[in-house]
Amino acid sequence: MKRERVIFIIGPTGVGKTAFAVELAKRLKGEIISADSMQAYRFMDIMSQKPTPGERKAVLHHLVDFLDIDDEYSAAEFIKRADPLIDKIIKKNKRPLVVGGSGLYIKALVDGLFPAPEKDTAFRKRLQKEARSSGTKKLHDRLKIIDPEASSKIHHNDLRRIIRALEIFHLTGTPISAHKGMTKGIKDSYAVRLYGLIMPRPMLYERIEKRADEMLEAGLVEEVKLIRRRDPSMTASSSLGYKEILGYLDKRYSLDCARELLKKNTKHLAKKQLSWFKADNRIRWIDLKEISQENAIRLIVTECKV
RNA sequence: GCCGAGGUAGCUCAGUGGUAGAGCGCGGCCCUGAAAAGGCCGGCGUGGUCAGUUCAAUUCUGACCCUCGGCA
């Protein structure tokens, strides 16, 4: 049986995934699934650089604009929603395009996430408190006893992962390393094609800086004020743009300082995304300095007909 | 012109008579329910220039150049 093809457009923030994907979707009769933790939120329009109303009219977008600011979101929540959407889109005789920059979200969808219980907030709080009073190292030592394999892979300062590993054991009685590998992703039922958009670092950074200025001009400060009033969730409040502007609103530094911070942190993000994606050799890279968007799209369209 | 302070890593600066460090930046990397999060690793640089003292000077002395304050 011929497997249906699912196309992924991934890449660092600022390369132009959105515009590219919209253009591609038009040619392929596609619908876009956003693999983006921040575009999911209502009201976070400017900071998450959502597709424009025009773009959303031209191509149907899924998983954009459906969460309230105080909702949590996660990779698991994402695949829970994205997985069934793929089938639905194919049944409509359309082509699913997954677009986003989060390495984990993409990997989770393609390769799957092992079935595991949700977070236990009380347990996490308890361990965080413990870490503060007696040190992160102590928790790492505890992990070593119940799961030597996981503890050797998790750095002793990486509190977040140490707690998660302990949490899995606490909730299931099985160490986290025993859960890994027991995963099923969409790659098992579809023909997955990963296209990575890229451009030389200086060019990307220039675009990022320009975009930050445009976000400020478009009213980022007002947007942050609005979001703050609505008590953002942990996920929402970790958005780039939010914390940088918050510091300005709290008079900890000037607007110019916030602007520079936003630029710097966005570049850091791009760098981290690049580092994540580089490790995945299934990705076919498209350098937008070497090949025009138009030609790249044509190439993908041709490949899809084969 | 005079007085004072200073010129050390891309930036801000610390320090030492035996040729140098820290933060930030920058680069590299890890990543399984917060991922736009979290974590790890990476520092030879004409020590402003030239001369002197010394076994040895970035560190002491002198001259010069430059920067910043103050006075004219």
* DSSP conformation letters of chain A: -PPPEEEEEE--TTS-HHHHHHHHHHHHTEEEEEE-TTTTBTT-TTTTTPPPHHHHHHS-EESSS-B-TT----HHHHHHHHHHHHHHHHHTT-EEEEEE--HHHHHHHHH-----PPP-HHHHHHHHHHHHHH-HHHHHHHHHHH-HHHHHHS-TT-HHHHHHHHHHHHHHSS-HHHHTT----GGGTSEEEEEEEE--HHHHHHHHHHHHHHHHHTTHHHHHHHHHHT---HHHHTSTTHHHHHHHHTTSS-HHHHHHHHHHHHHHHHHHHHHHHHT-TTEEEEETTTS-HHHHHHHHHHHHH-
Q: What domains can be seen in chain A, in order of their start residue?
A: 5-113+183-305 (3.40.50.300), 121-179 (1.10.20.140)
Burial class for A118, CB neighbours closer than 10 Å (0-12, 13-18, 19+): exposed
Measured from the CB, is A206 under 7 Å from any atom of strand B?
Answer: no
Task: Estimate in Å the CA A153 to C1' B60 gap, whole number.
Answer: 53
Number of alpha carbons in the 13 Å side-chain half-sphere of residue A126: 8
Q: Output the tens digit of pLDDT for each of chain A's 306 residues.
A: 678 999 999 999 999 999 999 999 999 999 999 999 999 999 999 999 999 999 999 999 999 999 999 999 999 999 999 999 999 999 999 999 999 999 999 999 999 999 888 889 999 999 999 999 988 999 999 999 999 999 999 999 999 999 999 999 999 999 999 988 778 899 989 999 999 999 999 999 999 999 999 999 999 999 999 999 999 999 999 999 999 999 999 998 889 889 999 999 999 999 999 999 999 999 999 999 999 999 999 999 999 877
Strand B-proximal residues of A, range 55-94, CB below 7 A, are 72-77
Measured from the CB, is A11 under 7 Å from any atom of strand B?
Answer: no
Task: Estimate in Å the CA A25 to C1' B58 gap, whole number.
Answer: 63
* Residue type for position A260: E
Measured from the CB, is A34 under 7 Å from any atom of strand B?
Answer: no
Instruction: Note the ipTM here.
Output: 0.93
Number of alpha carbons in the 13 Å side-chain half-sphere of residue A174: 10
**Confidence (pLDDT) at A115:** 87
Measured from the CB, is A151 under 7 Å from any atom of strand B?
Answer: no
Nucleotide nearest to A119 (CA to C1'): B33
Nucleotide nearest to A243 (CA to C1'): B36
| Span A71-111, pLDDT tens digits | 999 999 999 999 999 999 999 999 999 999 999 999 999 99
Measured from the CB, is A271 under 7 Å from any atom of strand B?
Answer: yes
Q: Which two tokens stand for residue A218?
A: 């478009």
**Confidence (pLDDT) at A241:** 96
CB of A254 within 8 A of CB of A279?
no
Q: How far apart are CA A301 and CA A286, in angstroms?
A: 14
Task: Estimate in Å the CA A68 to C1' B30 gap, whole number.
Answer: 32
Strand B positions with any atom < 7 Å from protein CB? 25-40
**Confidence (pLDDT) at A188:** 87
CB of A293 within 8 A of CB of A31?
no
Nucleotide nearest to A270 (CA to C1'): B36
Strand B-proximal residues of A, range 92-131, CB below 7 A, are 101-105, 108, 112-119, 124
**Confidence (pLDDT) at A1:** 61
Q: How far apart are CA A282 and CA A263, in angstroms?
A: 30
Q: How far apart are CA A215 and CA A211, in angstroms?
A: 6
Measured from the CB, is A152 under 7 Å from any atom of strand B?
Answer: no
**Confidence (pLDDT) at A305:** 79
